[in-house]
Structure 1
Amino acid sequence: MLNEADALVPIPETVRRLGLVALEHLLTIAGLNKTLEGKGPFTLFGPNDEAFRKLPDWAKKAVSNKTVLVEFLKYHVLPGLLNAKDLKNDLLVPTVQGPKVRVNIYNKIPTDRKMITAQCAPIELERVDKQASNGLIHVLQGVMIPPAGNAVVSLAACPKFQTLVKLVKLAGLTQTLAGGDHFTIFAPTNDAIAKVPQALLDKLLKDKKLLTKVLTYHVVPSTLCSAGISKGPVKTVEGQTVQLSVSERGVKVNNANVIYADGSITNGVIHAIDTVLLPPTLAEHRRVGPVAI
């Protein structure tokens, strides 16, 4: 492990000293060591070994392509120095790859424990500001996935959200969700929307105002990464609150389960859910039934 008394060395050797074995291996495969031995300065968000082990299969397959791997790793490198003391909530910082990284700071309830994330990957607070001769390393407990675009672009790119995208367009919310600086979208999948009773769906399709009310009840006007979520109510864009809960099984929003968390977008984060959220004023419609759109 890195001994602070050792003479400072460039980032690749510092990665090795920190025991980031998987990252060291991938930097070598990607041919980025020479770049990261350069003058810099650079700030590297360095995922630990467990972060790479937890990568979903689709991501492991993607980074097996060297071109994708290079872009993926470059997204973890910032030009210049970003010290831990300068990390602020919803700070957006450019990377050498292009897209920005979003930093968020949370106080976890009830412990009031501080949590800092970079693109929703938790930062190891015991291993920040690890100095190299040409920069800094902050160790991550996850990896950072570059965003494909804003909320609308990202939803449209995923087949599981095609029904939701149609409803967003019908409600005239495309421009709203494409803009904004920080949204959290609890996005019901096609299967989730298919559980909505047909009578309610018919009502929503005929009443744009009501449809807008339901859709904006799925949107929170702040960035809530799964690692930073605490139990309690959170106000939505619609105006009413949703109730968040966290357990070993994951995150719940009202009665909906988050089945895929931390989808990366340029204006916040997307969490896929398995049940449509209905504002309290529509509680009588919560009976499940098949629908077709």
Structure 2
Amino acid sequence: MRTSIAFFACVSSVLAQAPSLTDLIASQPDLSTIGAALGSVPDLAETLAGLSNITILAPTNSAFEALLAQEDTPESVAVNSSDMQAIAAILAYHVLNGTYVSSDFSETPAFVSSLFLPSFDGSIRTNVTDGQNVGLLLDGENATILSGELKSANVIEADIQAANSVTVHKIDTVLTVPRNASTTLSKVPDVEVTAALGALTAASLVETIDSVADLTIFVPNNDAFTTAASAFANASIETLTNVLTYHAVTGAVAFSSDITNTTVKTVNGNDLTLSVGVDGTVYVDNAKVVLANIILSNGVAHIIDTVLNPEDEIENPTPAATPTPAFPGATAIGTDVPYTSALGAAPTAGTASSAPAPTPSPSEFPGAAVQVKGALGGAVIGLGLAMML
């Protein structure tokens, strides 16, 4: 008992000696940009001082300098134009709701919520109810932060402790705030999904997938659409819409680590079967996830290798050694990639693009992690963060 008392007394002593966040940042020469902000914006210092059990991903001075050198990203435009609302959103994305130390990073990415909430109303927005997500990954020996557009930043100094159980990690890059689905999918490296984007355009679903809250969407790649091209050669808009909405689940943002052997209700009302192989590969009905965890402004996208068929009835959630084709007998038609001609075309009456987009209804996603904001919601809204730079 004496040993336990002595131990906890020692811990309490160490915690009591931890510097305030303002003092800690002031003591770090390579965080002087943030330090200047805290000295110039008392409301920001007061707000951060009132928070506990948070993790701050602090870009270094050189990280902000690199951002300012860019010309065409929402982050650089926001900073260079002193868009205070957008800057507030960007910085809120760098504050994690919870304490995450370096030992919490692993080879399996963990996606955690930030203080960037839908209540931020400006040019840079999110529609993830529990706070926009950030990925934590151990890449070799590097603690890595995953953000929008599959971008990443490295932790260059970890586990700097401040008072109130605040952990600071210095990072070498300003995080990329996730964009909407259509913008993000048009930039996915090494995976072509123009057929899916064209199909969504033809069915007037782009605005829906870009805006609906808490979206998990499974996006077939071009090879998947090309292989099944004959099945869509004479498909009506109603049929196409039915197929596409079978690829989407709303009501929860489910990353690969959240998925278990289960079924979920899709936007079109049918049940979708999810399963996980012994090697951790995720399967969706007969499709394999070939690229997982693309963070979107309103959720997450997973790229799959097969177009899903809502008429399929998959009863066994265990991946089959030889899966049954989703569209039996379907073949490619020449070398053309289906639906790509719809990209960039203006909607006209009587065409696929004139069909109304359905209104998705929320559905539960078994196994999805639920992250609670508690009293942190919107805590840094409206602070004069533009002065930070």
Work out whether the TM-score is over 0.5: yes
Structure 1: 5+ residue stretches without partners: 16-26, 48-62, 105-116, 124-129
Q: CA deviation at 1:91?
A: 6.2
How has the CA–CA distance of structure 1 residues 28 and 219 changed in structure 2, closer, same or farther, with 3 Å as cutoff? farther
Amino acid at match of 2:220: P
Aligned length: 239
What does residue 13 of structure 2 align with? Answer: 5
Amino acid at match of 1:194: T
1:285 paired residue among 304, 314, 327? 327
Q: Does residue 198 of structure 2 align to residue 166 of structure 1?
A: yes
What does residue 94 of structure 2 align with? Answer: 77
How has the CA–CA distance of structure 1 residues 68 and 268 changed in structure 2, closer, same or farther, with 3 Å as cutoff? farther
Alignment check: 8 A CA contact 1:163 1:189 kept = yes
Worse overlay, 68-77 or 146-155: 68-77
Q: CA deviation at 1:232?
A: 0.3
How has the CA–CA distance of structure 1 residues 12 and 202 changed in structure 2, closer, same or farther, with 3 Å as cutoff? farther
Q: CA deviation at 1:77?
A: 2.9
What does residue 300 of structure 2 align with? Answer: 269
Identity %: 23
Q: Does residue 282 of structure 2 align to residue 251 of structure 1?
A: yes
Q: Secondary structure at the match of 1:176?
A: helix
What does residue 341 of structure 2 align with? Answer: none
Once superposed, what is the RMSD of the aligned Cα atoms? Answer: 4.7
Cα distance in 1 for partners of 2:69, 2:260 equals 33
Amino acid at match of 1:188: P
Amino acid at match of 1:254: D
What does residue 66 of structure 2 align with? Answer: 66
Quick check: which one's strand share is greater? 1
Amino acid at match of 2:332: P
Cα distance in 2 for partners of 1:28, 1:103 equals 36
Q: Does residue 211 of structure 2 align to residue 179 of structure 1?
A: yes
Q: Does residue 242 of structure 2 align to residue 225 of structure 1?
A: no
Q: CA deviation at 1:252?
A: 1.3
Amino acid at match of 1:238: N
Q: CA deviation at 1:33?
A: 5.8
TM-score for the superposition, normalised by structure 2: 0.48
What does residue 223 of structure 2 align with? Answer: 191
Worse overlay, 234-243 or 247-256: 247-256
Q: Secondary structure at the match of 2:193?
A: helix
How has the CA–CA distance of structure 1 residues 102 and 176 changed in structure 2, closer, same or farther, with 3 Å as cutoff? closer
| Higher RCO (CA < 8 A, seq sep 6+) | 2
In terms of Rg, which structure is larger?
2
- CA-to-aligned-CA distance 1:232-286 (integer Å, 9 cap, x gap): 0011001111111124332111121212222121211111111111112597723
How has the CA–CA distance of structure 1 residues 241 and 69 changed in structure 2, closer, same or farther, with 3 Å as cutoff? farther
Cα distance in 2 for partners of 1:3, 1:33 equals 29
Q: CA deviation at 1:210?
A: 0.3
How has the CA–CA distance of structure 1 residues 45 and 251 changed in structure 2, closer, same or farther, with 3 Å as cutoff? farther
